[in-house]
């Protein structure tokens, strides 16, 4: 943290998780002067009105941004608001409550990358407030992610926001713990640990938490917060294993690619495994597999290699939502002179003498997953396993960078 910078705590979480209740609790009980900024999606900022009832506890006062999302269309307004707060008010700590559809990463980035806000603030921690009951029902039970409160949905399903918020958080507040059993709470704890292994977890009821557990913690690492997500750690660790195996026996069969990738069964059935192959997927069979993922898969993410498509594809699934995005061409698809240039600048590229950097590598995190069945189904999607290897057929996946294809998305009433 740079000298004289004001620490910032960012509160994220889906609608109804308890962020505003938490904020009012902090205003009443924190032993420091707080300023708060509240964002709501409606024309009337209901959350700001609720917080303002306790504004006498906040030396910095309450600022509000309404009818938009601070991670996108109101981002300029956010920067203006927090800089104005720092200029006009005297306070020790800023708390930003994002709306229930905001992603925390772009908000944190505002305070860390060369903006006027970054000159006067430092991010102290990112806190994900989780409705424990809703989280369990969505990802470990037979229920659904339930909408709470009013407002538009934004560009991503709530299941995506819920999972990505946990993955980015330094601290996860499991709120409404009184609404789940001890076993359900333990399951949610394991799921959170699988999604974000390094995050601290605090269990609460009615958002009642010691303010010192959230404020002044210094938990945020601007250089690697996204890299500490469970799927990324699994890929990095298993990639190192693959490199060692490749050096020992280049060209071995599927069993060698997959050996050692699964994690031991945990007490409540939360496991993860990595799937890695140096063969392309048949687009039609892959699409069918992704569109019918079982509910036991909570989170899966990685890179797809689709036959006939020279675009490296970034894949992301969270609960019922499955999306694929173009991530740029495979290096091996470029002219040889460009390949050499790219490889010289990217020493960590996994390169195969036959297929170059092309590969499929996916991490699956879930509860009660049938790993062998999932691996077998994925192997059946490989081009060599397709009924007619010569006929790739229609390819629905993106063929241009940043183009996105929605494989599956929950409709109205499913979240």
Average pLDDT over residues 372-378: 96
More confident call, 87 vs 43: 87
Say what the pLDDT of residue 263 is: 45
User: Residues 385-407: pLDDT tens digits?
Assistant: 555 555 677 899 999 999 999 99
Number of neighbours of residue 383 by Cβ within 10 angstroms: 19
**Burial environment of residue 77 by CB neighbours within 10 A (0 to 12, 13 to 18, 19 or more):** middle
More confident call, 236 vs 106: 106
CATH for 230-408 is: 3.30.1220.10
Contacts of 200 (CB under 8 A, 6+ apart): 170, 171, 172, 219
| Residue 66: pLDDT over 50 | no
Q: Enumerate the domain spans of the chain.
A: 6-225, 230-408
More confident call, 100 vs 35: 35
User: Residues 281-340: pLDDT tens digits?
Assistant: 999 999 999 999 998 998 999 999 999 899 999 999 988 889 999 999 999 999 988 888
Say what the pLDDT of residue 39 is: 63
Say what the pLDDT of residue 304 is: 96
User: Residues 230-279: pLDDT tens digits?
Assistant: 777 777 766 555 545 444 444 444 444 444 344 434 556 788 899 999 99
User: Residues 200-212: pLDDT tens digits?
Assistant: 999 999 999 999 9
Contacts of 407 (CB under 8 A, 6+ apart): 287, 290, 291, 322, 323, 324
381 band by pLDDT with thresholds 50, 70 and 90: very high
Please, are residues 161 and 14 in contact by the beta-carbon 8 Å criterion? yes
CA distance 221 to 186: 27
| Residue 383: pLDDT over 50 | yes
364 band by pLDDT with thresholds 50, 70 and 90: very high
User: Residues 3-62: pLDDT tens digits?
Assistant: 678 999 999 888 788 988 898 899 889 998 888 887 653 333 334 444 444 444 344 445
Please, are residues 14 and 128 in contact by the beta-carbon 8 Å criterion? no
CA distance 133 to 18: 12
User: Residues 211-239: pLDDT tens digits?
Assistant: 999 999 999 987 665 567 777 777 776 65
User: Residues 133-172: pLDDT tens digits?
Assistant: 989 988 886 544 444 333 344 456 777 888 888 998 999 9
Say what the pLDDT of residue 390 is: 59
Contacts of 227 (CB under 8 A, 6+ apart): 233
Would you identify the CATH topology of the domain 6-225? Rossmann fold (3.40.50)
What pTM value is reported for the model? 0.76
Residue 223: CA atoms inside 13 Å, Cβ hemisphere, count? 1
């Amino acid at each position: 943290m740079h000298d004289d910078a004001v620490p910032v705590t960012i509160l994220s979480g889906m609608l109804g998780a308890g962020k505003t209740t938490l904020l009012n609790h902090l205003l009443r009980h924190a032993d420091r002067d707080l300023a708060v900024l509240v964002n709501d999606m409606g024309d009337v900022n209901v959350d700001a009105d609720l917080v303002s009832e306790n504004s006498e506890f906040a030396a910095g006062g309450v600022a509000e941004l309404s009818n938009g999302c601070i991670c996108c269309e109101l981002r300029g307004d956010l920067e203006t608001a927090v800089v104005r707060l720092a200029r006009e008010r005297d306070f020790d700590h800023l708390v930003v409550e994002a709306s229930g559809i905001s992603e925390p990463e772009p908000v944190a980035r505002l305070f860390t990358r060369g903006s006027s806000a970054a000159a006067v603030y430092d991010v102290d921690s990112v806190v994900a407030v989780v409705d424990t009951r809703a989280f369990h029902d969505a990802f470990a039970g037979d229920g659904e992610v339930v909408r709470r409160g009013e407002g538009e949905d934004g560009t991503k399903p709530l299941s995506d926001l819920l999972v990505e918020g946990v993955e980015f958080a330094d601290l996860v507040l499991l709120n409404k713990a009184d609404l789940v059993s001890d076993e359900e709470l333990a399951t949610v704890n394991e799921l959170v640990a699988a999604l974000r292994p390094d995050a601290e977890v605090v269990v609460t009821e009615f958002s009642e938490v010691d303010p010192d557990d959230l404020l002044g913690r210094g938990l945020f690492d601007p250089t690697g917060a996204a890299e500490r997500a469970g799927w990324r750690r699994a890929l990095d660790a298993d990639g190192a294993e693959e490199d060692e195996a490749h050096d020992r026996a280049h060209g071995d069969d599927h069993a060698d690619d997959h050996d050692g990738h699964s994690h031991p069964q945990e007490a409540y059935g939360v496991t993860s495994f990595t799937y890695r192959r140096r063969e392309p997927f048949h687009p039609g069979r892959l699409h069918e597999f992704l569109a019918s993922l079982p509910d036991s898969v909570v989170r899966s993410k990685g890179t797809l290699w689709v036959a006939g498509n020279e675009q490296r594809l970034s894949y992301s699934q969270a609960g019922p939502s499955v999306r694929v995005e173009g991530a740029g061409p495979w290096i091996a698809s470029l002219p040889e002179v460009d390949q050499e240039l790219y490889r010289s600048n990217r020493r960590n590229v996994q390169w195969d003498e036959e297929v170059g950097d092309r590969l499929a590598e996916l991490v699956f995190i879930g509860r009660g997953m049938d790993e062998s069945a999932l691996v077998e189904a994925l192997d059946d999607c490989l081009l060599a396993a397709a009924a007619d290897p010569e006929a790739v057929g229609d390819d629905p996946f993106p063929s241009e960078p940043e183009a996105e294809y929605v494989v599956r998305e929950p409709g109205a009433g499913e979240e």
